[in-house]
Amino acid sequence: MVLQWYPGHMNKAKNQVQDRLKQVDIVLEIVDARLPFSSRNPVLEDIIGQKKHIIILNKSDLADPQRTKEWKLSFQQEGLAVIDLDAKHTNALGKINSAIRRELSEKIAKYENNGVKNYQIKAMCVGIPNVGKSTILNKMVGKNVAVTGNKPGVTKNQNWLKTSVGIDLLDTPGILWPKIDDNRVGLKLALSGAIKDQIFAPDDVAIFALSFLESFYLDSLLTVYNIEPNDLRNKTTPDILMFLTNKFGYKDDYDRAARKIINDVRKLKFGPVTFDVPGEFYEE
Ligand code: GDP
């Protein structure tokens, strides 16, 4: 199944981001560290153009640390600035401030040479829903602020939020959609909880999860469900779902087993898992 997004809304959101872009020195593109490819909006780079830009791999506490390293390297090789972040549990302000100052060092130096001592940096967050934009804004501002317009396509008055480090932030994050023209992207977003559970059938998501775990996190899969490599041999992934349904004692309630598997992934039963593998989307 391929999801259709409404091009009208998409354009409206794009125009809004473009408008706000003019007011800032730098864009913080927030992505989910578990989905560094699938949670990016592919048109964002076109919208951003020459504007300075940092990719923030947020929710790094939920992602596979080895994969996060690989993804950082892959972005750096493309010439993009990138940091990883756990905005929920750590000091987002310090880390983002350092990254912003690194990226804007030339501009800041220019101002300093012209006698402007404390150039007030202006930044905005953009990203698809649920990647942590509000959490990051709140952490940077140091209090709970009402993040306005946190809905695609809604125009609201925007304000500047002050931080303690000389950076002003737009209180209205730019919301963009993921581009789900690849079924894998949709299934991964569903598995991570980024898109609503009603959009994909649980068995499709669970079958995707099982095949992904079997390929990349086999030891965890075997340990968590107390199964042997032999149990998987000569079985298609739907067969494995049936086998596990039985093993869980759910008779033939495959949906219940599917929901359990999805929840187990989300609850990190298999450890931190990254669903995008560097390089996988570039072969076709
Ligand atoms: P937004 O839609 O982009 O504004 O996303 P939110 O800031 O509302 O965050 C979505 C969910 O992700 C919330 O439940 C946050 O608590 C959670 N979240 C945000 N950042 C992190 C993080 O770094 N680690 C973890 N584990 N959860 C996070």
Structural domains present in the chain: 3-171 (3.40.50.300), 201-266 (no CATH)
Residue partners of 44: CB distance under 8 A and separation at least 6: 17, 29, 126, 176
Q: How far is the CA of 99 from the centre of ligand 1 (A)?
A: 20
**CA 138 to ligand 1: nearest atom:** 7
Please check the confidence at residue 271 and state whether its pLDDT lies above 80: yes
**CA 147 to ligand 1: nearest atom:** 4
36 or 284, higher pLDDT = 36
Structural contact between residues 46 and 40, judged by C-beta atoms closer than 8 angstroms: no
Residue nearest to atom 19 of ligand 1 (CA): 132
Give the whole-number percent of the chain exceeding pLDDT 70.
90
Task: Give CA separation, 112 vs 94, 102, 106, 119, in Å.
Answer: 22, 15, 10, 8
Amino acid at 23: Q
> In this predicted model, what pLDDT tens digit does every residue of 174-187 receive, in sequence order?
877 777 778 899 99
**CA 130 to ligand 1: nearest atom:** 2
Residue partners of 107: CB distance under 8 A and separation at least 6: 25, 52, 119
Q: Provide residues with CB under 6 Å of ligand 1.
A: 58-59, 61-62, 86-88, 127, 129-135, 150
Reported as a pLDDT band with limits 50, 70 and 90, residue 48 is: confident
Q: Tell me the angle at which helices 202-216 and 237-247 cross, rounded to the nearest 10 degrees.
A: 100
Tell how many helices (H) and how many strands (E) occur in the chain.
12, 7
Reported as a pLDDT band with limits 50, 70 and 90, residue 1 is: very low
Please check the confidence at residue 20 and state whether its pLDDT lies above 60: yes
Residue nearest to atom 17 of ligand 1 (CA): 132
Give the whole-number percent of the chain exceeding pLDDT 90.
70
- Compute the mean pLDDT over every residue in the chain, rounded to the nearest whole number: 89
Instruction: Please tell me the pTM assigned to this model.
Output: 0.91
Enumerate the β-bridge partners of residue 82.
55
pLDDT recorded at residue 2 = 44
> In this predicted model, what pLDDT tens digit does every residue of 212-243 receive, in sequence order?
999 999 999 999 999 999 999 999 999 999 99
pLDDT recorded at residue 108 = 95
Structural contact between residues 84 and 60, judged by C-beta atoms closer than 8 angstroms: yes
pLDDT recorded at residue 14 = 77
**CA 125 to ligand 1: nearest atom:** 3
Reported as a pLDDT band with limits 50, 70 and 90, residue 111 is: very high
Say how far residue 63 (Cα) sits from the centre of its chain: 10
Q: How far is the CA of 95 from the centre of ligand 1 (A)?
A: 17
Q: How far is the CA of 59 from the centre of ligand 1 (A)?
A: 7
